[in-house]
């Protein structure tokens, strides 16, 4: 891998890691549902020049926009609004990896052997260990919401795989067009005061929202898609593993969130499971790719 591309992956890891702060700050200032609405408005404005009609795929686009867009982000925003320990949410958010594998086994008949089965068990065992930590017992609702958001992300991943060949900016543009009316309705029903206060939001809040919508979603996911098109999955995927560690480190530094021994043990179990699944799945996908004649 070229040094510049390796630097790009590590930069994306940092961008994603710092996104926990952007999401938390945006949610606390604008409200969880209103913050998600604004995030999609910003991202969609950037994507507008690239949006085009996708014949035969619009039903899939609508489903993806609702599940991987509005529902995923709504649950995530609510979890950040209700929880104080952002580090715990960053770790629980990694459940999207085992959820994606489970769905691939069920719906795509992907073969799975004992190493990845063990890894799935480790992921969920780690979350259970953290969930019973007395120091973060009050975060359980936020943790459950994050787990639900991770499941939506995993379903979205399954749908994204059926949209192969569609440019990232086109997909994210449609996600926004689908999610914006849903989020606007939810914000109008449950956060009318926050919705009405949008014109009075400080510039810093718009900065956090723009960071999440542009840097994390478009630059991060767009850049990673570009790299996946040029390198084997087994090379790129493991290099994204530092992201949760960066998220936890940043959360501790910015919010001084407590880290207990039980939380460390649970987090380690989950991250080890995620690492095994990521590496083994990447190797399997590369080995399944047909070899082009030379």
> What DSSP string describes 134-160?
GGGGGGHHHHHHHHHHHHHHHHHHHHH
Are 43 and 248 spatial neighbours (Cβ–Cβ below 8 Å)? no
pTM: predicted TM-score of the whole model, two decimal places: 0.89
Quick check: 173 and 51 in contact, CB under 8 A? yes
Domain boundaries, the chain: 3-288
Give me the chain's average pLDDT, please.
89
What is the pLDDT, as a whole number, of residue 121? 96
Per DSSP, the residues of 215-261 read: IIIIIIHHHHHHHHTTS-HHHHGGGGTHHHHHHHHHHHHHH-----H
Which value, in Å, is the radius of gyration of the alpha carbons in the chain?
Answer: 19
The yes-or-no verdict on residue 1 having pLDDT over 90 is: no
User: Which of 120 and 224 is assigned the larger pLDDT?
Assistant: 120
Cβ atoms of 148 and 96 closer than 8 Å? no
pLDDT in tens, 129-146: 988 888 887 888 999 999
What string of DSSP letters covers 60-124? HHHHHIIIIIIIHHHHHHHHHHH-S-HHHHHHHGGGHHHHHHHHHHHHS-----HHHHHHHHHHH
Using CA atoms, how far apart are residues 186 and 200, in angstroms rounded to an integer?
A: 20
Residues 159-198: pLDDT tens digits? Answer: 888 887 888 889 899 999 999 999 999 999 999 999 999 9
The answer to whether the beta carbons of residues 219 and 43 sit under 8 Å apart is no
Q: Is residue 169 a contact partner of residue 222, using CB atoms and an 8 Å limit?
A: yes
pLDDT tens profile 193-239: 999 999 999 999 999 999 999 999 899 888 887 887 778 766 787 88
């Amino acid at each position: 891998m070229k040094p510049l591309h390796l630097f790009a992956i590590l930069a994306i890891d940092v961008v994603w890691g710092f996104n926990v702060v952007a999401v938390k700050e945006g949610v606390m200032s604008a409200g969880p549902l209103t913050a998600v609405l604004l995030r999609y408005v910003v991202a969609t404005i950037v994507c507008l020049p690239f949006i085009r009609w996708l014949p035969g795929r619009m039903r899939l686009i609508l489903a993806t926009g609702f599940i991987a867009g509005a529902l995923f982000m709504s649950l995530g925003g609510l979890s950040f609004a209700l929880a104080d320990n952002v580090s715990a949410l960053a770790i629980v958010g990694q459940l999207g990896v085992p959820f994606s594998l489970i769905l691939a086994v069920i719906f795509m008949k992907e073969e799975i052997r004992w190493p990845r089965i063990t890894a799935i068990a480790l992921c969920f065992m780690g979350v259970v260990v953290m969930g019973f930590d007395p120091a973060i017992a009050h975060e359980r609702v936020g943790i459950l919401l994050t787990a639900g958001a991770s499941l939506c992300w995993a379903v979205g991943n399954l749908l994204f795989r059926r949209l192969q060949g569609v440019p990232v900016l086109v997909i994210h543009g449609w996600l926004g067009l689908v999610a914006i009316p849903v989020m606007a309705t939810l914000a109008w029903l449950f956060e009318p005061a926050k919705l009405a206060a949008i014109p009075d939001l400080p510039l810093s809040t718009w900065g956090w929202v723009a960071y999440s919508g542009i840097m994390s979603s478009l630059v991060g996911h767009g850049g990673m898609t570009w790299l996946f098109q040029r390198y084997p999955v087994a090379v790129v995927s493991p290099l994204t593993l530092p992201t949760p560690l960066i998220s936890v480190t940043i959360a501790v530094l910015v919010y001084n969130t407590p880290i207990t021994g039980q939380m460390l043990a649970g987090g380690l179990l989950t991250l080890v499971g995620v690492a095994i699944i990521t590496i083994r799945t990447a190797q399997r996908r590369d080995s399944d790719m047909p070899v082009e004649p030379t």
